[in-house]
Structure 1
Amino acid sequence: MRNIETRITKTGPDDAGLNQLLTDARMEERRGRADLMAARLDSLAAHIVSRQLNHTEAAELLRQEAVKIQNEAQEIH
């Protein structure tokens, strides 16, 4: 099943409508990524608190998460 959304875009000599559509899509993607990152950080904070990790263990957990994020970024490109 695919999500299909039809939009009427005003195009003209300067294609301002298309540029605005692209700008809106980029902003929506940024918002989505920010929400995801906030959720990941909240999850890490909860894990650190619930396990009562010391500063060294918390730093290692953050490093592991950074590696996961880097790997995900490489898979996208």
Structure 2
Amino acid sequence: MGFGGMSIWSLLLILVIVLLLFGTKKLRNLGGDLGSAVKGFKQAVNEGEAEGKADPARLNKAEGQAGEQKTADKEHHGS
């Protein structure tokens, strides 16, 4: 058994069909674009974590403002 209940021969056949339809150059470009997108996403996540660690007072202030807003909303709506 291969991946997801498919045999290795079925997977190879699908790979050959995809290569014939799209060509290696287009697939290589698609893989590069996907890799760049993942790399950019990881970089943004790391920057967000570093920013949160660098200024915890700012985060506490933002959380306090969010709590105040929720309280104001409850009072306004009578909940």
What TM-score does the superposition give when structure 2 sets the normalisation length? 0.45
Q: Which structure is higher in helix share?
A: 2
What TM-score does the superposition give when structure 1 sets the normalisation length? 0.46
- Structure with greater contact order relative to length (CA < 8 Å, sep ≥ 6): 1
